[in-house]
Structure 1
Amino acid sequence: PKAGTTWLFRCLSEHPEVFMAPRKETNFFHAETIEGRLGEYQEYFTGAQSFRVVGEISVRYFHSPRAPERIKRHIPSARLFVSLRNPIEQVYSHYWHLHRQNFHEYDRSLVPSTFEEALERYQERLVEPAYCSRALARWLEYFDRSQIHVILFDDISARPASVLAELYAFAGVNGSFQPASMTQVDSDVRRGVSPRSPFHDRAHRFLYQHLARRLYYRLKLTLGLQRAVRLAESLRARQLMEALFYRSGYPPMSERTRAALRERFSEEVQQLSRLIGRDLSHWK
């Protein structure tokens, strides 16, 4: 999570040879059971027959204990890609994402007030996803290395055009295409948001929990999944909420916390570096 996948999703969706499921995060192959539900999955790709490549992006697949075997069984020739980020920055960015959208779902009365408190209380949801070497090793048990394209978040920030050209080529489509979202890499990838004030934080949490989520659920029941997704995107509800209640960027992480995380992830960075064959010493 928090490694530029929203921007990658948009850039893939804009390619004329690529049909992406309109909903990012279908999470289909991560579900408890998929038996008898493949028709439901195929509905995401209605109208895709004339496209050269068909795909989707679901962040949960990467750490899922079920997804690798299921995808291998149903789509053995799949081409997969993963975007990886410095684990320290990933955890911190993920914290602010959960602070904005998800912490209240775990325990509404005990939303953590600091990053350090969240690290203590939400190890599984916040910290474990940053251990990417274990997840990648699991995927390599089912798929050949040539079927897995690895992207570094650092490269998205530094050379987005090259990242897209390489990804398009890996997918088997025209690598020279430049999507409109190419120019939005700064706002989509680097920005991040944090509450304008404690009042804005509480107000957003209330509106998100009691209005946005419930309204969106009803829209899905009434309109169907694909129409509800398209309507939500056209209304730009998330962007409007962020503009009202949040500001760009995060408060600086304390140096003490950063040092502790650097030590904690040191071995992980070394293992991941060996696995993908790239120097990640700048992450230490």
Structure 2
Amino acid sequence: MSEDILQDDFSKQSIPHFLIIGAQKCGTTSLYNYLIQHPQIIPALSKEVHFFDIYFEKGMDWYRNQFPSLESKRWITGEASPYYLFHPHAPKRIHQFIPKIKLIVLLRNPVDRAYSHYHHQVRMGTEPLSFNEAIKKEESRLKPERIEILKNENYHSPIYQNCSYLARGRYVEQLKNWMNFFSMEQFLIIRSEDFYSNPTLIFHRVLDFLGVQMLELKQYTKHNFGDYPKLNSQFRNELLTYFEPYNRELYDYLGVDFGWDK
């Protein structure tokens, strides 16, 4: 079946108008929950559909059924699967079926993101190692899994998804992969720290990007956050040093300094 036929067929159905593609532990759950309070934004059956990373074998009919039937052209729908940004096959797959999609990306200081991600996996019962040990073993854990994912597109690796603490924070590598398929105009890239400090301003930026009416929420409740000990300052500085060249490349690539030097 040709790509044009697939796209025409899919366009007859309710399709996502936007995707929040990541990054994990950067505010995606909070943002999605704010968006679906808007009367013009109708939610998917679940926030994280994970079709283009984990469930691609289920096929497009299954994906269509994750979204509501829209009775008005004023309504839009979307989902938020933060593994999409990191998954090597997701951008190609998404471009094949919804090439005009609007893409929202939240990026957080990669040290804070990694530490939050680690504690999330500990709470989920999937990470038995200490943070230091997990960081030391990350490359040996991920390398064979990535090789298998690239070799077999239908291979799903919980290790690659769950234990990628440093790799997911090398944002520039991921964005370059995405921008091989999509134009810069299709992205809204948000600094998570700005979202946390001024959710109203960022929420309105997102509404403007999506082309829906402005809305003021009564409150901006944080979702999917947890309490955990503060990261050791020496180890934090080591991680800041590790990420510095990747952050600098990101700033140069996007033309924006995110200020993640502390």
Smaller-chain TM-score bracket: 0.7 to 0.9
Structure-1 residue corresponding to 2:239: 261
Select the residue among 36, 52, 63 that pairs with 1:41: 63
- Structure 2 residue corresponding to 1:270, chosen from 248, 251, 260: 248
Partner of 1:97: 120
Deviation at residue 49 of structure 1 after TM alignment: 3.6
| Alpha-carbon spacing, 1:32–1:5, altered in 2? closer, same or farther (3 Å) | closer
In 1, Cα distance between the equivalents of 2:220 and 2:245? 36
TM superposition shift of 1:269? 0.8
CA deviation vs aligned residue, 1:90-133 (integer Å, no higher than 9, x gap)? 001001101101425xxxxxx11x22122123344222111111
Task: Give the equivalent residue in structure 2 for 1:183.
Answer: 220
Q: Distance in 2 between the 1:48 and 1:57 partners?
A: 18
Q: Specify the alignment match of 1:121 in structure 2.
A: 137
Q: Which residue of 1 aligns with 2:86?
A: 63
**Post-superposition shift, 1:277?**
2.0
The range that moved more, 272-281 or 57-66, is 272-281
Superposed CA RMSD: 1.8
Residue 281 of structure 1 pairs with residue 259 of structure 2: yes
Q: Is the 8 A contact 1:150 1:276 kept in 2?
A: no
Q: TM-score, normalised by structure 2?
A: 0.77
Corresponding position of 1:166: 205
Shift of 1:281: 3.0
Q: What does the per-residue CA deviation read over 1:193-222, in whole Å, with 9 as the maximum and x for residues that have no partner?
A: 2xxxxxxxxxxxxxxxxxxxxxxxxxxxxx
Deviation, structure 1 residue 160? 0.7
Structure with the larger helix share? 1
* Deviation, structure 1 residue 33: 4.1
Q: Aligned in 2, Cα 1:49/1:134: closer, same or farther, shift over 3 Å?
A: farther
Q: Calculate the TM-score normalised by the size of structure 1.
A: 0.71
SS in 1 for 2:101: coil
Contiguous gaps of at least 5 residues in structure 2: 1-23, 143-163
CA-CA distance at 1:276 after TM superposition: 2.3
Cα distance in 2 between the residues matched to 1:102 and 1:17: 38
For the 8 Å contact 2:50–2:84, the answer to whether it is kept is: yes
Instruction: Give distance in 2, aligned partners of 1:102 and 1:121.
Output: 18
CA distance in structure 1 between the aligned counterparts of 2:50 and 2:261, rounded to whole angstroms:
29
Aligned sequence identity (%): 28
Between 67-76 and 90-99, the greater mean CA deviation after superposition: 67-76
- Alpha carbons 2:42, 2:68 under 8 Å: kept: no
Instruction: Indicate if the aligned counterparts of 1:270 and 1:280 stay in contact, CA closer than 8 A.
Output: no
Displacement of 1:25 in angstroms is: 1.5
How many residues align structurally? 215
